[in-house]
Amino acid sequence: MTIEQANQRFELLDKRIAESNRRTSGEKINFNSDLSRVDLIDRAEKYLHWGRLRSQTLDTGNGLFADACWNMCLDIYICGLKDERVTVSAIAHSSGIPMTTAMRYINVMVDQNLIDKKPNPADNRMIFVSVSPDCMKKIEKLLASAPF
């Protein structure tokens, strides 16, 4: 390959990238706000399954393709839609990351008002988590724009 041919390929690649950026930045996202609770659960479970499948398929043990905070948040959201109470330890265990890391992420999400923590009135050692109302709206907006 000559330098001229390489330059032509780079120019073509630059054009493709520029076209892609124009399409995605100016694209209007349509939201389907008429989703039922069942539809929201279905979409959330698909997102969660796809994310875990992506991580299992591409991850070589370094966690580059893991999305622990999103997965924990989505898991908590799904439990809430199913009227299931979920504990901090259950979410931390299901995240598939070390417990200390999961607990740190949960505390950061609490600090950022994404999830709420409440003690179990029957057992103060147990803490329940739920997504905050604001986070719920944001997740539902994302789910409403899901391509499936």
Give me the chain's average pLDDT, please. 83
- Mean pLDDT on 19-25: 55
pTM here is 0.74
Q: How far apart are CA 40 and CA 139, in angstroms?
A: 9
Report whether 106 contacts 115 (CB < 8 A): yes
Name the one residue in this structure whose structure tokens are 């439990």.
Answer: 79
- pLDDT one-digit tens code per residue, 50-60: 888 888 888 77
- pLDDT one-digit tens code per residue, 87-146: 999 998 888 788 898 899 999 999 999 999 999 999 988 999 999 999 999 999 999 987
Contacts 24+ apart (CB under 8 A), 8-11: none
